[in-house]
A and B are shown apart, each in its own frame.
Chain A
Amino acid sequence: TQLLEQSPQFLSIQEGENLTVYCNSSSVFSSLQWYRQEPGEGPVLLVTVVTGGEVKKLKRLTFQFGDARKDSSLHITAAQPGDTGLYLCAGGPGTYKYIFGTGTRLKVLA
């Protein structure tokens, strides 16, 4: 069974700090996505990465896909309270089936 492990599971930081969330698997994925979920809502897509070694930036968020396409990281610079939420990675072993990671709950304190 393919599994995507995220670390850390919980993260509580002060506004202005930097942080990195990791998403790891023993399997190779054809593509990988990151989502953010807020309470009472569904996950919202942040980014899709498809090429090993790819780096994408979305304002203060930087996403990287590992060279071997087995892992990914999300780095947030100068975190803000609005970044608070559940961050989920999702990997696509196939066209229709995406497996979601175990999740990282981030809380940014003002």
Chain B
Amino acid sequence: DTAVSQTPKYLVTQMGNDKSIKCEQNLGHDTMYWYKQDSKKFLKIMFSYNNKELIINETVPNRFSPKSPDKAHLNLHINSLELGDSAVYFCASGGRNYGYTFGSGTRLTVV
């Protein structure tokens, strides 16, 4: 029973397209996150939601829009995809007290 599951695992798409990544956690955590990992393996926080409320939005282009319908789900929609958006996107839940539990990542390739 996967704790944090995100889909799809791989996403290949053309520039200009719009795509979504879905994330669900069954750990009962109040806080969920989206992180981006670049080709040098650097993990950078993008967004954080606590109980469906946006609490962190780190200078991310507004082409990226997170949506949290409930505290167990945090989806990421990306409009007008660009080559530079290619990366691995990780969903996570938890935080300082529990530590983060990460999903297995979505490798996005924009061609």
Chain A interface residues (CB < 8 Å from chain B):
30-31, 33, 35, 37, 40-45, 48, 86, 88, 90, 92, 95-100, 102-103, 105
- Provide the residues of chain B in CB contact with A43, threshold 8 Å: 43, 90, 100, 102
- A97 CA to B41 CA, complexed, in Å: 19
Among B11-19, B66-74, B78-86, B91-99, which stretch is in contact with chain A?
B91-99
Given contacts A30-B96, A86-B41, A92-B96, contact A97 B102 (CB under 8 A): no
Q: Which of B42, B90, B96, B100 contacts A102 (CB 8 A)?
A: B42
Q: Which residue of A lies closest to B31 (CB)?
A: A96
- Provide the residues of chain B in CB contact with A96, threshold 8 Å: 31, 48, 50, 55-56, 95-96
Please, could you name 26 A-B residue pairs with CB atoms under 8 Å apart, sorted by A? Answer: A31-B96, A33-B99, A33-B100, A40-B104, A40-B105, A41-B105, A42-B4, A43-B43, A43-B90, A43-B100, A45-B99, A45-B101, A48-B99, A90-B100, A95-B95, A96-B56, A96-B96, A97-B45, A97-B56, A98-B96, A100-B42, A100-B43, A100-B45, A102-B42, A103-B42, A103-B43
A-B contact count (CB 8 A): 58
B42 touches A42 (CB 8 A): no
Interface size range of chain B in the complex: 20 to 34
Given contacts A96-B95, A102-B42, contact A42 B102 (CB under 8 A): yes
Q: How far is the CB of B92 from chain A (nearest CB, A)?
A: 7
Centre residue among A30, A31, A100 by max chain B CB count within 10 A? A100
- Provide the residues of chain A in CB contact with B104, threshold 8 Å: 40-42
Beyond A45-B101, A96-B56, A98-B45, 11 additional contacts (C-beta under 8 Å) are: A33-B99, A33-B100, A43-B102, A48-B99, A86-B41, A92-B96, A96-B95, A97-B48, A99-B45, A100-B45, A103-B40
Q: Which of A31, A42, A92 contacts B92 (CB 8 A)?
A: A42
Tell me whether B44 is interfacial, beta carbon within 8 Å: yes
- Provide the residues of chain A in CB contact with B35, threshold 8 Å: 100
